[in-house]
């Protein structure tokens, strides 16, 4: 790696005050303009900026200054749960206050009370009140203008100025009032979308009880290190990822997998941070802490999922950039034709640009957050959008369609080598393999009490087999393509016809034995595949590196076509062939051997990815528990999300068109226009909130 690549660092900076896509774009432009910043991604839902920078050229204080000049804040710390509860109460109170204020404005305008008040109070006093009240907002608008940026408040500021020019200071005051109202609604709407993420964050333990010598002490989670021994008692959440050294407990893993049924953990079991010990107690050897745990990775990926915007969201972001200049043009035309400055003012303040930018991300963030709570990790809105249009499903066999817990059924010598010796050699080489069949071989060796020798020069050949030296011999174990001399072993064919997976073992290049393993089909798969057909999946196909006969036996149970004896690169080519025909491809695998195909597919879904960094990183969507029912549920949820997005966009467009038309015609005065421009955000929030209440049984029919 060159010195140019190594000098950059990536830092996360919390940002407050962002309400919509315009805000994130302004912050991004402000930070990106600094010398030494190589890249910046601003995330609305996570309230942070991820900045790649050269620390020799730009410092954090400079970034803070740039953010503040753009009109936003870099807080010393993030809000705590009590602040969030206060915000929720404030939101409920605000809803009541907003309705009261809106009715007062409506009645006051209708009865002409504002005109009388405008005549009673001297104009200089009224203007001074408007300027003082709106000064913080006007200052932000000026800062944005100096950076050649236009915000929704820019239009409303022009509207307020226009109202003052025609000596309608009451209308200007109402515009300023609803500038604050609109900011609060946008902030509250974005805050509600963040709640699912923050609810996850709050589940992470802040402290841990560890053994230090003969003592038991409680320390902040930041002080826990790998290989520390952590103690967890009933009713406590496990603070780390690790291995149980002693004890036994029932663990609620719903924070990771969404599965409420407790898991029995005992010595040797892997356990995850943020899971709850319901009964029993454990001594745990720490393996990963904080952001490195499975739960930490889930939070990080969910928070950063906003960066993966879909085409609909990118369109809304692009449209919002041109929307404000277009609106200024409409206001100018209104004044040019009618010579009515109040009508032109009303045009400027009635249309809410932020609602267009919020229409897509609010729905996407709601879906991503609620899915994470149920054990479905979606890495971005673009994958929800793509999933809703998918029509081809390709699936792996072992660990995906099957339970992934094969057991060894046959050990057959072909040259007189004792079965115990064959198993010992196979277990020695498979000890370092990640393939599901490796665990079956090791488990058989353990049950038979066979000592497993050490190996040297271990090599893995994905889709083929593994090789190593054991006791001076070269041991190879794999499929027919890996050990060509095994092609003529007739007994292997008989075992394959029984639907078993075959491993051939060779010693110093000579085939010496056959190992056969069997796995069971997941019981819910057939029903799930039938649901997927009803949800628009036209073609379902099995892709496996297993032998032809075993693949045929499984595929016939599910009534789907298959391709067998595939290498990882051959699976990639199959995915590409469907994509070349304009198909949108879902690939489901275990996330380890299928990682390249998952990455190539339009949507790669890793099955049972909890605890596997490889699976979580490789896939676009990770199912953290072993349940095929999540797949059709996920597809239904993507359809429903896109329906909500389309409703949000249609409602916003129609609302703004009607509002602009009424304002341009002089029917909607500036005071009511200012009040009306805050309503679309509330409509979007209410419509998108339906996704937060969605569950597997109430997703409704596919639109």
Catalytically annotated residues: 396
Helix (H) or strand (E) segment spanning residue 136: helix 123-146
Distances (CA, A) of 257 to 61, 304, 401, 523, 622: 40, 20, 18, 19, 10
Helices (H), 498-629: 525-534, 548-558, 568-580, 595-600, 613-618
Token reading at 673: 């226009």
Q: Write the DSSP symbol of residue 221.
A: G
Calculate the alpha carbon distances from 275 to 235, 236, 266, 376 in Å.
Answer: 10, 9, 15, 16
Of 228, 363, 213, the C-alpha closest to 284 is 228
Say which residues have a Cβ less than 8 Å from residue 27's Cβ, sequence separation at least 6. Answer: 15, 18, 42, 49, 67, 70, 72
Q: What is the dihedral of CA 45, 49, 50, 52, to 10 degrees?
A: 160
Question: What tokens appear for 598 in the block?
Answer: 């998952």
Token couple for 279 = 């009964």
Whose tokens are 């946008």? That residue is 186
Query: What does the DSSP assignment read for 488-504?
Result: G-HHHHHHHHTT-EEEE
8-state DSSP, 399: I
CA 420 to chain CA centroid, Å, is 48
Structure tokens at 220: 């902040």
The helix, strand and coil proportions of the chain, stated in percent and rounded to the nearest 5, come to 55, 20, 30
DSSP β-bridge partners for residue 49 = 13, 42
Six-digit token string for 701 = 């029919």
Helix, strand or coil for residue 360? helix
Query: How does DSSP assign 622-660, residue by residue?
Result: EE-SS-TTHHHHHHHHHHHHHHHHHHHHHHHHHHHHHHH
Angstrom distances, CA of residue 493 to CA of 267, 382, 490, 555 = 40, 45, 5, 18
Q: In whole angstroms, what is the distance from residue 501 CA to residue 514 CA?
A: 10
Separation CA 263–CA 271 (nearest Å): 10
Identify the residue whose tokens are 């620390």. 55
- Beta strands 392-395 and 229-232 are unpaired
Residues 238-250: b if buried by 16+ CB within 10 A, e if exposed: bbbbbebeebebe
Contact 513/502 with Cβ under 8 angstroms?
no
Helices (H), 308-418: 311-338, 341-350, 353-373, 381-387
């Amino acid at each position: 790696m060159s010195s140019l690549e190594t000098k950059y660092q990536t830092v996360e900076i919390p940002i407050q005050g962002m309400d919509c896509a315009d805000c994130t774009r302004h912050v991004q432009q402000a930070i990106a303009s600094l010398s030494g910043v190589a890249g910046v991604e601003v995330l609305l839902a996570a309230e942070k900026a991820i900045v790649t920078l050269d620390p020799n050229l730009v410092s954090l204080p400079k970034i803070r200054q740039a953010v503040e000049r753009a009109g936003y804040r870099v807080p010393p710390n993030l809000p705590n749960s009590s602040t969030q509860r206060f915000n929720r109460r404030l939101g409920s109170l605000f809803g009541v206050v907003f309705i009261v204020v809106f009715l007062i404005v409506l009645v006051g305008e209708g009865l002409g009370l504002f005109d009388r008040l405008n005549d009673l109070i001297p104009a200089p006093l009224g203007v001074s009140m408007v300027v003082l009240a709106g000064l913080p907002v006007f200052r932000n608008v000026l800062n944005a203008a100096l950076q050649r940026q236009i915000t929704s408040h820019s239009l409303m500021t022009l509207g307020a100025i226009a109202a003052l020019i025609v000596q309608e200071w009451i209308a200007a005051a109402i515009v300023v009032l609803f500038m604050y109202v609109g900011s609060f609604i946008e902030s509250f709407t974005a805050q509600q979308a963040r709640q699912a993420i923050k609810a996850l964050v709050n589940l992470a333990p802040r402290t841990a009880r560890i053994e230090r010598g003969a003592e038991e002490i409680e320390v902040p989670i930041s002080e826990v290190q790998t290989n520390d021994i952590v103690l967890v008692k009933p009713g406590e959440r496990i603070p780390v990822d690790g291995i149980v050294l002693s004890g036994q407990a029932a663990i609620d893993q719903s924070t990771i997998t969404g599965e409420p049924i407790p898991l029995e953990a005992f010595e040797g079991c892997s356990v995850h941070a943020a899971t709850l010990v319901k009964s029993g107690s454990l001594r745990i050897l720490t393996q990963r802490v904080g952001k490195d745990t499975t739960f930490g990775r889930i939070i990080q990926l969910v928070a950063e999922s906003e960066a993966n915007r879909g085409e609909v969201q990118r369109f809304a972001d692009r449209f919002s950039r041109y929307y404000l200049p277009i609106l200024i043009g409409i206001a100018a035309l209104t004044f040019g034709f009618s010579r009515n400055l109040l009508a032109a003012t009303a045009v400027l303040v009635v249309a809410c640009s932020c609602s267009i930018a919020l229409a897509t991300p609010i729905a996407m963030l709601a879906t991503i957050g609620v899915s994470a709570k149920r054990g479905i990790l979606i890495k971005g809105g673009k994958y929800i959008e793509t999933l809703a249009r998918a029509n081809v499903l390709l699936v792996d066999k072992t660990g995906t369609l099957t339970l992934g817990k094969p057991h060894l059924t046959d050990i057959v010598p072909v040259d007189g080598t004792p079965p115990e010796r064959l198993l010992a050699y196979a277990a020695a080489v498979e000890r370092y393999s990640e393939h599901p069949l490796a665990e079956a071989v090791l488990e058989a060796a353990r049950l038979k009490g066979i000592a497993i020798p050490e190996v040297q020069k271990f090599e893995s050949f994905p889709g083929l087999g593994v090789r190593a030296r054991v006791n001076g011999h070269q041991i190879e174990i794999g499929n027919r393509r890996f050990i060509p001399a095994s092609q003529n072993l007739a007994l292997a064919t008989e075992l394959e016809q029984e639907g078993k997976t075959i491993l051939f073992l060779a010693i110093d290049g000579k085939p010496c034995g056959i190992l056969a393993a069997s796995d069971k089909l997941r019981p819910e798969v057939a029903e799930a595949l039938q649901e997927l057909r009803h949800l628009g999946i036209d073609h379902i196909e099995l892709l496996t590196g297993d032998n032809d006969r075993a693949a045929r036996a499984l595929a016939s149970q599910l009534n789907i076509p298959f391709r067998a004896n595939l290498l990882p690169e051959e699976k990639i080519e199959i995915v590409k062939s469907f994509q070349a025909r304009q198909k949108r491809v879902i690939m489901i695998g275990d996330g380890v051997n299928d990682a390249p195909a998952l990455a190539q597919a339009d949507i790669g879904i890793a099955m049972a990815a909890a605890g596997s960094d490889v699976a979580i990183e490789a896939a676009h969507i990770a199912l953290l528990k072993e349940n095929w029912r999540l797949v059709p549920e996920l597809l239904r949820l993507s359809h429903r999300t896109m329906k909500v997005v389309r409703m949000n966009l249609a409602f916003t467009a129609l609302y703004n068109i009607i509002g602009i038309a009424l304002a341009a015609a002089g029917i909607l005065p500036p005071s009511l226009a200012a009040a009306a421009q805050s309503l679309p955000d509330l409509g979007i929030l209410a419509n998108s909130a339906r996704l937060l209440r969605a569950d597997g049984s109430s997703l409704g029919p596919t639109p």
